[in-house]
Amino acid sequence: MNLLTDSSHREFLLDEARRSLRFFDASLRADGGFDVLDWQGAPLPRGPQELHTTTRMVHSYVLGRAIGHPNADRMIDAGLAYLWNHHRDQSHGGYLWAVGGDDSKLAYGHVFVLLAASSAKLAGHPDADRLLADISDILDRHFWEEDHGLYADEFTRDWQPFSGYRGMNANMHGVEAMLAAFEATGDAHWLSRAGRVLDFFTARMAPAHNWRLPEHYTADWQVDPAYSGNPMFRPAGTTPGHSFELARLCLHHWDLLGRPATDAPTRARAIIERAMADGWRADGGILYTLATSGQPAIRDRYWWPVTEAIGVYAHLLKLSPTEEDRQAYDQLWTFAQTHFIDADNGGWFPEIDDTGQPTTTQFHGKPDIYHALQADLYPLTPGLSRPIEGLANLTT
């Protein structure tokens, strides 16, 4: 049975999304920023507010608005105002990575500003156009490397490069944001740029590395196999969860192009199947990283690779699904319900220990609605692209 057409599963997905939205409503602060919440939904001690938190909240509540969440407009208004009045650097341009902390300018954060602006425009927000114009200019002037067709990664506050590092993660989320920008504006240059990034990773890097995706690169975009940065945010090796994510975006892009007769679906499936074969642990869940040889490296299990696997397998179920696809989708949701979803309070626990119980090794509280909400809502849409439009037209 294809769960995407099962009425009880679809009802579960909507209910789970609405529970998450209600849980994260409590994160909004009086100053318009967002607190990280503990497992029960109370604010944790406040620290710097990172750019990806603010922007992902805007995007997530635009999704929530599409399904009629009553508090969505308030959350979107607050997030956009905080971006413009606090993260935006009025002295040097661009957006600070952390208000009250790190003032560097990171591509990873800036592409999420593009996602927030594009999602807000799709929601008809009056502040979307100014944010979209500003972030488009910043990305063009400081991050986009036309010769490579990829985004550079990191600068100081006054736009001095402080490393030669280049990475897949920022570019992958750049694809996500550019596809949303195309959906919001119809400007084909976003679709073209997204295609260049996807071609580099899915048509060049993945087949050259047995359908795994190297994460880290030098300034001239050569794979840097020796790189080992922050073990949480820039771990060595490859990350199966990112393979699921990029494969979904590859199918999203192909759909927006009109589903041309290319090998994009074949490439996406090869990446997905390699990631599942590599990443799924015998006791369930998806391990965090692999060594460059393909052997397990960091075996920890976090929520977000499971959500991304759910999202891309939902895409496969909308195309020409196999029995293995149906089984994988069901297996992923069964594991999520058993180990990650907090049925009592709402939201997902971000990590589990070797016994399958929630733990706090890397994450404190429930720091994220974005990944889980997309796993809830993207399977409900009829197509592979234009999710906000698809949700707004949803009937269950």
User: 178 pLDDT exceeds 90?
Assistant: yes
- pLDDT digits over 274-317, tens only? 999 999 999 999 999 999 889 999 999 999 999 999 999 999 99
Of 358, 229, 239, 232, nearest to 303 by C-alpha is 358
Active-site hit among 216, 242, 253, 315: 242
Q: Kindly list the domain boundaries of the chain, sorted by start residue.
A: 3-392
- pLDDT (tens digit, 9 = 90+) per residue, 366-378? 999 999 999 999 9
371 catalytic residue (yes or no): yes
- pLDDT number for residue 169: 97
pLDDT per position as a tens digit, 314-360? 999 999 899 999 999 999 999 999 999 999 999 999 999 999 999 99
Residue 201: the pLDDT is 98
As a whole-number percent, the residues of the chain with pLDDT over 90 amount to 96
Which residues are CB-neighbours of 186 under 8 A, at least 6 positions away? none
DSSP 170: H
Residue 396 has pLDDT above 60, yes or no: no
pLDDT score at 395: 55
Q: Is the pLDDT of residue 231 over 90?
A: no
Mean pLDDT of 140-150: 98
327: enclosing H helix or E strand: helix 323-335
Instruction: Tokens for 297, please give them.
Output: 């490296």
Give the separation between CA 336 and CA 352, rounded to whole angstroms.
Answer: 11
Q: Report the pLDDT value the prediction gives residue 313, as an integer from 0 to 100.
A: 98
Give me the mean pLDDT over the 181-190 stretch: 98
Q: What is the pLDDT confidence band of residue 388, given thresholds at 50, 70 and 90?
A: very high
CA–CA separation, 362 vs 359, rounded Å?
8
pLDDT of residue 213: 98
> Mean of the pLDDT values across residues 49-68?
98
Q: What is the dihedral of CA 256, 258, 262, 267, to 10 degrees?
A: 30
Contacts with 98 (C-beta within 8 Å, 6 or more apart), sequence order:
48, 49, 50, 51
pTM for the full model?
0.98
Question: What average pLDDT does range 199-204 have in this prediction?
Answer: 98
Across 194-219, average pLDDT = 98
* Model pLDDT, residue 233: 87
pLDDT tens per residue, range 92-133:
999 999 999 999 999 999 999 999 999 999 999 999 999 999
> If we measure between CA atoms, which residue out of 69, 91, 95 comes closest to residue 80?
95
Is 315 an annotated catalytic residue? Answer: no
State in words which class domain 3-392 has: mainly alpha
